[in-house]
Amino acid sequence: MYGRQPTNRGPLAGGLSGLGGPVPRDVIVLLAVILATLAIDVLTGGGLLFLRLTSAAWAAGYLWQLATYAFIGYGPPSLWILLALLILFMFGKDVFWQLGRRRFWRTIAWAVIGAGLVAAVVDLVGWLLGFRFGALYPIMQGERVLLTILIAAFATIFRDATIYLFFVLPLRARWFLWIEILFAFIAFLRSAVDGTPDLPGFLGICAAVGITYAVLRYGGPGRGLRRAWLRLRQRQLQHRLERERRKRGFKVVRGGDDGPWLN
């Protein structure tokens, strides 16, 4: 499944490789962009709002926001930003060395743009139905969606690795696909309590997790949907064959690669 991945680098057995080992320049640049854009936005009093994902993406045609929002640091300056960058570095480093530069950025691009489209469409549909969400989708802005994508990528690639939740509770990496969605749901409930339910942001995070998984498991959302459709067709044919067998009293003999034959 990962035939083109580098084989001489990767996470230590059982979990993340931490802060040691070679550091990919791409991940350092990514962290620097997040920190620099956060500083610029704070010092200019929100001067980078036009690059964040907002309702203007569909209302005013600001389509570039679908690609730029993930690289603009979000939130007030706090220790959370440093912790988020540290976690982003740890997961990003292992994912980068496992995928290589091309697949690393392709996965991020698919997930960022796909999640942005989902959020924008949900916001538009809500507006048409008379629901009003906030103009900004805080659950999925900046480093938050990047963290979601890279953790989902790690959970997909190293599904049997051990990650310590809150640095204490050991869990298999694959469970973090669902844990991310759970955390996003809690954030959605909190936004609802505050009076600005961020449904577009929550569904955008869900889309980011799903798209990342599809890209790494099946090569892309399109190929994943095709495989899902083929599985559905196979099950339908098997069900039809079983129904005919019961109806007509046929005996089904499976002949290896030649498929089932009726005798």
pLDDT interval class at 50 (50, 70, 90): very high
pLDDT at residue 11, rounded to an integer: 39
3-class DSSP state of 13: coil
**pLDDT for the residue numbered 15:** 47
The torsion of the CA quartet 230, 231, 237, 241, rounded to 10 degrees, works out to 150
Length of the chain: 263
> What's the rounded Cα separation, in Å, for the pair 158 and 160?
6
3-state DSSP assignment of residue 170 = strand
pLDDT for 98 beyond 80: yes
pLDDT (0 to 100) of residue 2: 33
Q: What integer pLDDT is reported at residue 17 of this predicted model?
A: 59
Q: Would you state the pLDDT for residue 148? A: 95
Higher local confidence (pLDDT), 68 or 6: 68
State the pLDDT at residue 5.
Answer: 39
Q: Which of 162, 171, 21 is nearest to 94 (CA)?
A: 21
CA 130, 136, 139: angle at the middle one, nearest 5? 105
Domain range annotation of the chain: 25-219, 225-262
Across 239-261, average pLDDT: 62
pLDDT tens-digit series, residues 133-143: 888 899 999 99
User: Is the per-residue pLDDT at 256 higher than 70?
Assistant: no
The pLDDT of residue 261: 40
Mean of the per-residue pLDDT values of the chain: 83
> Of 132 and 5, which is predicted with more confidence?
132
pLDDT per residue as tens digits for the range 181-240: 999 999 999 988 888 899 999 999 999 999 999 999 887 656 656 666 777 778 878 877
pLDDT at 253: 57
Fold of 25-219: Rhomboid-like fold (1.20.1540)
pLDDT higher at 114 or 239: 114
Residue 251, pLDDT score: 59
More confident residue, 79 or 183: 183
The CB density around residue 154, as the number of other CB atoms within 10 Å, is 27
d(CA 90, CA 177): 17
Q: Could you tell me which residues come within 8 angstroms of residue 159 by beta carbon, excluding any fewer than 6 positions away?
A: 172, 173, 174
Give how far Cα 184 sits from Cα of 36, 52, 68, 199, 239, Å.
Answer: 26, 19, 21, 10, 38
Report how far residue 203's alpha carbon sits from residue 198's, in angstroms, rounded to the nearest whole number.
Answer: 9
pLDDT digits (tens, 9 = 90+) for 149-168: 999 999 999 988 777 666 66
Whether 263 shows a pLDDT value over 70: the answer reads: no
- In this structure, the number of other CB atoms found within 10 A of the CB of residue 94 comes to 27
Please tell me the distance from the alpha carbon of residue 70 to that of residue 76, in angstroms, as a whole number.
16
| Model pLDDT, residue 117 | 96
